[in-house]
Chain A
């Protein structure tokens, strides 16, 4: 991989000099430099190798992209813009996209918190009562498999605003994984642990918040991360259909005008946003479940 990186480095610099392509020059120098710095910062051999490999793959991709799009392009530049054009637009559009991001995150956050707030208490109640479980199960089985996207047109028609409609749709999709996992989490708490809790004669509130909820927490978090992925999917789907701002709307709107450079910029930006949120979620999850670590 190191050799590959060197070859790519030479390729990009050659392209830069030959074609006066300053984007290629910057990428060709900056990415190996970043990889080198990272490699020097981490002493772990595996991770050092990984840093170099990632840089090599990225360089290879950029090189290929550069070669097929710039100067005498092989692909139609309307649909396949050159990387330097995309990069330029990315920074130019950043302000608009960040604005769109806040609009999207408002919908996402509201709907996601709403589904946590309804699915967890509901799941705890249903999980701890066999009778309730038997009563609810037939309905949850049918309702949970309906793809929430089918609600979108109806919800947009029925609810007073687009925000309300998309919050409803995201909620209805994010609800079930959290609910089902909360129920499963409660049911799977070892019986001995519950017995041990019963013998402590805890009050009802204490039992719910100190035993039932944390006991089900690992499974709840699995459901919650699944729901987060669902929420993104539904959010962008809803925005493609009825929004006037937001990340999904940004992509659709630019596509309507045939501005595919900005479409790509939007897609890349969405990728960064979702990755950041997922990484944040993982951190929170790890923090909540830190008690499982055998060495502290």
Chain B
């Protein structure tokens, strides 16, 4: 269980996150939904232990997070893989750090099997630059699930992909989470409402400036509902509308605030 209690953080006097309280149960797939600049990536980094909150903190299974958290692995939008290593070596590096007692051959086999799991056999010796964006993200996911961490943190991982690749990778992540049968928790940052509805068992909507949780919703439908059925389901449509309304009013509020700021400045 991940527990965020009253997390606040400010950068150069500007409050980015304002008293975020969030409990993420084991096995959940939580989508952190919010517009750009609302601090959702910042929150993810705080959970990962890459960033220290100004006040408040995170605990994983009751233990406070202090420094890069061992229970977490991450997938970013770019630069998750090291470009100077082949895809296979990227996985082997992570595996060797997690399993120091395993032999090189064992590590190699493990890396190969995880690449195969995400549909990437045959790219072991290729450098990331030679792969497509979608393949790179597949490899990054393979590396993140290959290490024995139970929590997978994803920061807009499919933001730079074309729609077809994005849909395929969403299916992959959804499948991986379903197959883990509750042993893996995912926190997934996105600004795409439909992506959140398709992937999340829970959706936390972050309001912007300062970032705070303005809605926390449970996905009303089962994980097994296929994509084409999802947006025909009435409860999903209702939730979609509800989130869009929250989204829109938050955006309007932000725009109004900016306008007054500008006119004040102009005079």
**Chain A residues proximal to chain B, CB less than 8 Å:** 190, 192-193, 195-203, 206, 210-211, 214-215, 217, 290-296
- Whether A201 contacts B97 by the Cβ 8 Å rule is yes
Q: How many residues of B contact A (CB 8 A)?
A: 30
Binds A, one of B14-22, B80-88, B112-120: B80-88
Q: Which residues of B contact A193 (CB under 8 A)?
A: 79, 82
- Whether B78 contacts A200 by the Cβ 8 Å rule is no
For A294, give its contact among B73, B129, B147 (CB under 8 Å). B129
Complexed CA–CA distance, A291 and B98 (Å):
25
B126 within 8 A of A: yes
B68 within 8 A of A: yes
- Whether B45 contacts A202 by the Cβ 8 Å rule is no
Nearest B residue to A189 via CB reads B79
Q: Which of B30-55 contact A (CB under 8 A)?
A: 45, 48, 50
Nearest A residue to B51 via CB reads A195
- Whether A199 contacts B130 by the Cβ 8 Å rule is no
B196 within 8 A of A: no
Complexed CA–CA distance, A192 and B83 (Å):
13
Q: Mark B135-158, 1 if CB is under 8 A from A, else 0.
A: 000000000000100000000000
**Chain B residues proximal to chain A, CB less than 8 Å:** 45, 48, 50, 68, 70, 72-74, 76-86, 93-94, 96-98, 126-130, 147
Most chain A CB within a 10 A radius of its CB, from B45, B79, B86 = B79
Nearest B residue to A214 via CB reads B84
Q: Which residues of A contact B84 (CB under 8 A)?
A: 214-215, 217, 291
With known contacts A292-B129, A295-B130, A296-B126, A196–B93 Cβ distance under 8 A: no
- Whether B82 contacts A210 by the Cβ 8 Å rule is yes
For B127, give its contact among A196, A200, A296 (CB under 8 Å). A296
Most chain B CB within a 10 A radius of its CB, from A199, A202, A296 = A199
- Whether A192 contacts B79 by the Cβ 8 Å rule is yes
Smallest CB separation, A294 vs chain B (Å): 5
Q: Which residues of B contact A192 (CB under 8 A)?
A: 76-80
With known contacts A206-B93, A293-B130, A296-B127, A199–B68 Cβ distance under 8 A: yes
- Whether B83 contacts A200 by the Cβ 8 Å rule is no
- Whether A200 contacts B93 by the Cβ 8 Å rule is yes
Smallest CB separation, A246 vs chain B (Å): 38
- Whether B68 contacts A198 by the Cβ 8 Å rule is yes
What would be 22 A-B contacts, judged by CB atoms less than 8 Å apart? A190-B78, A192-B77, A193-B79, A195-B74, A197-B82, A198-B68, A199-B48, A199-B74, A200-B93, A200-B97, A203-B97, A206-B97, A211-B82, A214-B84, A291-B83, A291-B84, A291-B85, A292-B83, A292-B127, A294-B130, A295-B130, A296-B127
Q: Which residues of B contact A295 (CB under 8 A)?
A: 130
Smallest CB separation, B87 vs chain A (Å): 11
- Whether B127 contacts A202 by the Cβ 8 Å rule is no
Nearest A residue to B96 via CB reads A206
Nearest A residue to B72 via CB reads A199
Most chain B CB within a 10 A radius of its CB, from A196, A203, A293 = A196
For A201, give its contact among B68, B80, B85 (CB under 8 Å). B68
Complexed CA–CA distance, A290 and B125 (Å):
13
Smallest CB separation, B79 vs chain A (Å): 4
- Whether B76 contacts A196 by the Cβ 8 Å rule is yes
Smallest CB separation, A225 vs chain B (Å): 19
Smallest CB separation, B127 vs chain A (Å): 4
Nearest A residue to B77 via CB reads A192
Q: Closest 6 A-B residue pairs measured CB to CB?
A: A214-B84, A291-B127, A193-B79, A192-B79, A198-B68, A296-B130
- Whether B50 contacts A199 by the Cβ 8 Å rule is yes
Complexed CA–CA distance, A290 and B130 (Å):
11
Complexed CA–CA distance, A290 and B127 (Å):
9
Complexed CA–CA distance, A192 and B126 (Å):
22
A-B contacts besides A199-B50, A217-B84, 12 pairs, CB < 8 Å = A196-B76, A196-B81, A199-B68, A199-B74, A201-B97, A206-B93, A210-B93, A214-B84, A291-B85, A292-B127, A296-B127, A296-B130
